[in-house]
Structure formats: structure tokens, C-alpha cells
Amino acid sequence: MKDKFFKYIHELQDAITSKLEVVDSKAKFKEDLWERPEGGGGRTRVIENGNIFEKGGVNISGVHGKLPKSMQAYFKVGDVDFFACGLSLVIHPKNPMVPTVHANWRYFEMYDENGNIIDSWFGGGQDLTPYYLFEEDAKHFHQTCKTACDKHNKEFYPTYKKRCDEYFYNTHRNEGRGVGGLFFDYCKASETMTMDRWFNFVTEVGNSFLEAYVPIVEKRKELDYTNEQQNWQEIRRGRYVEFNLVHDKGTLFGLKTNGRIESILMSLPPHVQWVYDHHPEEGSEEEKLIEVLKNPVDWV
């Protein structure tokens, strides 16, 4: 399974980066191959200063070795070996009318001292972070997620949509990071779902990503915006940074397993503002977004 999924994320990375280069029409992804001393490595691809995309990364990695003590405590296991692979992406567009997007699809195995698999699971999801709310964009993104889920189980979309709303939530701000999407983790073999069926589901979601995001980019990329709107985008990006550094488990896992710091922190946007005690103007489009982020919406 690990070889099968590792091959898949290589192919998905190629598909996503190729399409985003076409959409941007100027910038190209710079590729960076790296190795982890303890075992494994990855292929980082970063795009910067494009026509559409100010900064973005589409990264794959496959790492293995002894599970660090800090992660042993987290997973409640003893001395075990592990293998983890996945694709993680974050795209920060230049135009504040185009939303930021994040996605991740991953697979994890743990082994006993004889090399036997003692646990394995899939995880992942995709979510949208707009700076200005176009409801039809949120509906399109969620409908694409729902369509992918419904092919496998009608309960997946409402379950993983709710988990996404709960996970990507800045509790210290009492607001969501964005308008959500899907979040699933610890997808393990059961009576109803074999690992092959989980593989089919996770890859279905992965394959739906471009369909979920690119039409929104195409629709919004030419819209005019003001300096004030760009300031708002940078203030909201600050909230994005706060989530990734304070709450995100993937960032924590990367830092605690001696992951490659440039790849872990590629999700951070290049231009961000923290304005003291900032509040949007009453009745404004900015306030409209904040109100939606306080209470998750059923978009479909």
C-alpha cells in the first residue's frame, strides 16, 4: 500500500503543478529534492511572484525510521518504526478576491521490532480560505467535495465537513480559518472499509482538487482590488499563520520528526500584517466574512 500511495502522490503532484503553471501563465514551480538524514526525503515544488500566485508550494515526502519519543507519547506507543508519506499544498494568490487553498493527502504505517505492520491509516482533506466571500465559490468547492465523497459513502461528506470546521478553527480568535471543506484522519481498515477502499476514497478526493479550486481562480483572478482590500488580505493571512504555528498537527509532526524546515513552513504567506485590535467596518464585506467564519455554514 505504501508503494502504491507513494506512486500516486508523485503523479498527483505532477498533475497539480502542471495545471497551476498553465493558470498562472508566468511563473514556474522550482523543484527542490531533499533527503532526511534519519531516512527518506521529498520533492518540494514552490511557485513565487507569478501573475496569479504570489506564493505556493506543492510538496511530497516519504520519511521513515524510529518514531521520536515525543511522537511515541502522542500515539501512545513504545519504540516503533514508522513510515509516513503525503502530498501537502498551500497556494496564496496575489489578488485578494481569489481565495487561499490548502490540501493534504497522507498515509502512515507503524512497525514492530520484526518489521510487521502494527498500525496503518490514511488522512487528508482540502479547505478554502477566502478573504472576500463569494457564496457561489464556497458552494462550488463544497459541492465538488461532496460529489467525491458520495461516490464512496453518503455519510463521508457531512462527517468530514464537520471535522474540517472543527479542526481548522482558531480557538484563540473564536473563528474558523476559512469556509472549510473536508478533513479526515485515522482512516483504518474495518468491517466495511478495507485499506484498498480507503485508498480509492482518498485518491478520489485528491483527484477532485483541481476541479474544486481552478474554476474559482479563473472566475476571480481578473477582478479589480484596492490597497485597502490588499491590506485586509494581509491581516487575514496573519490569522492563517497563527493557525499553522499554534494549532496545526502536521506542522507539529514535521518539526518533531526533524522534517525539512523549508518544506514545513512553505505554507506561510510572504506578506502578512498584524494590526493591533483590528476590527472591520460595520456592514462591510470584511465584516460579512468574519460573521460567516464565526459559525460554520452548510454550503450544500
Per the document, the length of the chain is: 300
Active site residue 278: no
Secondary structure (3-state) at 55:
strand
Rounded to whole angstroms, what are the CA distances from 191 to 148, 188, 195, 237?
22, 10, 11, 42
Instruction: Return the exposure string of 85-120: e unless at least 16 CB atoms fall within 10 Å of the residue's CB, then b.
Output: bbbbbbbbbbbbbbbbbbbbbbbbbbbeeeeeeeeb
Cell of 42: 521529498
**Residue 252: closest CA among 75, 37, 35:** 75
H runs (alpha helix) in 36-76: 69-75
Dihedral class, residue 93 (left if φ above 0, else alpha if ψ from -120 to 50, else beta): beta
Residue 66 parent element (H or E) = strand 53-66
Query: Of 71, 83, 72, 68, which Cα lies nearest the Cα of 115?
Result: 83
User: Pick the catalytic residue: 10, 92, 102, 140?
Assistant: 102
Which residues participate in catalysis according to the annotation? Answer: 102
